[in-house]
Amino acid sequence: MFEYGAPLVAAHAKSYPKLFEVAVGTAKKLTGWISVYTSNIYLTQNLLGLQPLPDRFAALKTSFQAILRYCSNDSPLKVLRRLEWRLGSFYGCFTDDQAFQEYVGSGRDVPASQEKLKQSIRSFLRRRQDDALAREARRRKMTRLIPSSSRLKSGMRGADRTLRAPRLYQKQFLQFRRGTYNTSHKCFCSETPVFHRGHEACTRPIGTSWLSRKEHRAKSRAQAVLGSKLQLTDIDFLLNTGQFDRAYKILQHITKTLASANSSAKSP
């Protein structure tokens, strides 16, 4: 229901972008409220595979061009096209779509039926969305840690694969991906007074490892691709490879260990 009039709204927003900023701001607040995290909406959108509202509405307007292309000649939309419209008119913004022109001019054959054209445009727009999500992911440290192979390819396409984990796990996984996991606790190592990602090993018994030798080698290869400025943790590796049970057990161990250490520190 919310997206039913998206092509009309996207056309109107092209001429009056400041009015649309109100809707964009509201959508950001809604996303933060749903995900219980308002500090970095762009990070949350990328983790969930969500398009920014303007991009989503623009894509729906592009999809609408398939309906416009194949509607009958006596359709009001086709009749209106015969009139002369000034540059930047609402009708022009509604019926002239840059992304659709790129689709037509890409050299592919335009399908002969409306339904096949809709499917072809959806595939075209899906690739554009994948590229946009990938560019956004490369802009932020936290999302650069998630390889494209760990992104969903269907359903919530482009979202972090942890959203396919058991629901019990997802809250902690999302906190870890955002870098907010257990940030209210003090770390009992000598390097920093506050726990933050990268210090998970501080809670691990000395002489033990959470990964096998083979996994350590695979993690080292992934770390080499990321470079020295980003730290790929053992938990990142397990989440990226879909080993959710192991990752959740480690996070539970960290929480209990930190809670116990913080409780002991407060005791007289």
Domain termination site, one of 108, 139, 170:
139
Q: Say if CB 186 and CB 198 are below 8 A apart.
A: no
User: Tell me, what's the pLDDT at 100?
Assistant: 92
User: Tell me, what's the pLDDT at 217?
Assistant: 96
Q: Place 262 in a pLDDT band, splitting at 50, 70 and 90.
A: low
- 153 in any annotated domain: no
Q: Are residues 135 and 176 in the same domain?
A: no
- 152 in any annotated domain: no
Q: Are residues 24 and 122 in the same domain?
A: yes
User: Tell me, what's the pLDDT at 191?
Assistant: 65
Reply yes or no on whether the pLDDT at 103 is more than 60. yes
Instruction: Return the biggest CA–CA distance within the chain.
Output: 85
* More confident site: 187 or 139: 139
Angle at 209 between CA 146 and CA 226, to 5 degrees: 25
Reply yes or no on whether the pLDDT at 49 is more than 80. yes
pTM above 0.75, yes or no: yes
Q: What is the mean pLDDT of the segment spanning 209-226?
A: 94
DSSP code per residue over 239-265:
HHTT-HHHHHHHHHHHHHHHHHHHHHH
- 150 in any annotated domain: no
Round to whole Å and give the CA distance between 156 and 257.
34
- 259 in any annotated domain: yes
Round to whole Å and give the CA distance between 238 and 246.
7
Domain count, the chain: 2
Domain extent, residue 227, equals: 162-266
User: Tell me, what's the pLDDT at 264?
Assistant: 61
Q: Place 155 in a pLDDT band, splitting at 50, 70 and 90.
A: confident
- 116 in any annotated domain: yes
Q: Are residues 236 and 204 in the same domain?
A: yes
Q: Are residues 172 and 95 in the same domain?
A: no
DSSP code per residue over 189-203:
SSS-SB--TT-GGGG
Q: Are residues 75 and 174 in the same domain?
A: no
- 115 in any annotated domain: yes
Q: Are residues 103 and 182 in the same domain?
A: no
Q: Are residues 35 and 115 in the same domain?
A: yes
Q: Are residues 38 and 129 in the same domain?
A: yes
Q: Are residues 168 and 114 in the same domain?
A: no
- 156 in any annotated domain: no
Q: Are residues 74 and 110 in the same domain?
A: yes
- 147 in any annotated domain: no
